[in-house]
């Protein structure tokens, strides 16, 4: 693991690191914020999965999680959203290929040699973080947009590995959205039955979640028709899933929205991880 940078932030350390990934078959860059409490003892971990077109850097610099993480004593991990580099497949569209990994393990060419973000986040990066940073084996996960989709689906499929769950404006029903059908067919093939493991609404119906879920959605989000929040909110009601779904009046899909409610989400996770 190579250290790219480390900066003091709210008496903790915001670092950026690079390593050779076996899962993705290329070098991957990620960021970790360690709060000041980590200098004394290992702390719980909050995973933040970013959305389409983002790298580790977007949320690290715009979401404003560090101040809240320092207050509550949580480490924050920011993975990249896809494999990158020479030899990694890509597409001219912004919503497929590099920057748009959708947190799945691709099974179709040309994507399958590198696009294994599900394994990367769930196992490889988790093991790397656990082995190199002062963190406990207690993990929460959140994310925005495509990252909210990733957080919800990874957690619901692996309840033994996560103790808390939230999302900002997640792609909530991708099997019924153009932000999903295009990517799932490209990465996984045309058998729609294989897509269900990557649809938060369908997973909630099938598996539920062991605890409660916090979801914030901007009421003025320009992508509401693609995100389909009503599908997830309706399934939470029908399944009687404990949780809170908040439609935030006037907020759009930007990092200004994420930043506005970041403190609520960090506090939510801290309450469940400590």
Instruction: Please identify which of the residues 145, 164, 166, 177 carries the catalytic annotation.
Output: 145
Cα–Cα distances in angstroms (integers) from residue 248 to residues 50, 217, 253, 265, in the given order:
20, 6, 11, 14
Pairing of strands 164-168, 135-143: parallel
The pairing of strands 43-49 and 135-143 is: parallel
Helix (H, G, I), strand (E, B) or coil at 32: strand
Q: Which of 198, 253, 265, 269 is catalytic?
A: 253
Distance CA 153, CA 145 (A): 12
Residue 85 DSSP code: S
Active site residue 265: no
CA end-to-end span of the chain, whole Å?
Answer: 29
As beta bridge partners, residue 29 has 18
User: Catalytic site residue 221?
Assistant: yes
What DSSP designation does 163 have? Answer: S
Determine how many CB atoms are found less than 10 A away from the CB of residue 84. 19
Give yes or no: 50 in active site.
no
The CA distance from 222 to 9, in Å, is: 33
With b meaning 16 or more CB within 10 Å and e meaning fewer, what string describes 105-121?
Answer: bbeeeebeebbbbbbbb
Number of Cβ within 10 Å of residue 233's Cβ equals 18
Catalytic residue IDs: 145, 221, 253
């Amino acid at each position: 693991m190579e250290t790219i940078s480390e900066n003091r932030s709210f008496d903790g350390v915001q670092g950026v690191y690079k390593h050779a990934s076996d899962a993705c078959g290329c070098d991957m860059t990620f960021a970790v914020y360690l709060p000041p409490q980590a200098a004394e003892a290992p702390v719980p971990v909050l995973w933040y999965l970013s959305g389409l077109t983002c790298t580790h850097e977007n949320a690290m610099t715009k979401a404003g999680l560090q101040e809240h993480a320092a207050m509550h004593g949580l480490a924050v991990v920011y993975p990249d959203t896809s494999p990158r580099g020479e030899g990694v497949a890509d597409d001219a569209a912004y919503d497929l290929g590099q920057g748009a990994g959708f947190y799945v393990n691709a099974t179709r060419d040309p994507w399958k040699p590198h696009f294994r973000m599900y394994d990367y986040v769930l196992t490889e990066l988790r093991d790397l973080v656990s082995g190199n940073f002062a963190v406990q084996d207690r993990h929460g996960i959140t994310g925005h947009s495509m990252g909210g989709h990733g957080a919800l689906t990874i957690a619901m499929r692996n309840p033994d590995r996560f103790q808390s769950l939230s999302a900002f404006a997640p792609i909530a029903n991708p099997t019924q959205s153009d932000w999903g059908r295009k990517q799932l067919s490209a990465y996984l093939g045309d058998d729609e039955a294989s897509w269900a493991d990557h649809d938060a609404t369908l997973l909630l119906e099938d598996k539920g979640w062991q605890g409660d879920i916090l979801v914030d959605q901007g009421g003025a989000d320009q992508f509401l028709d693609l995100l389909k929040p009503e599908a997830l909110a309706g399934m939470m009601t029908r399944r009687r899933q404990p949780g809170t779904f908040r439609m935030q009046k006037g907020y759009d899909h930007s990092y200004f929205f994420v930043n506005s409610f970041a403190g609520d989400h960090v506090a939510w996770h801290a309450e469940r991880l400590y």
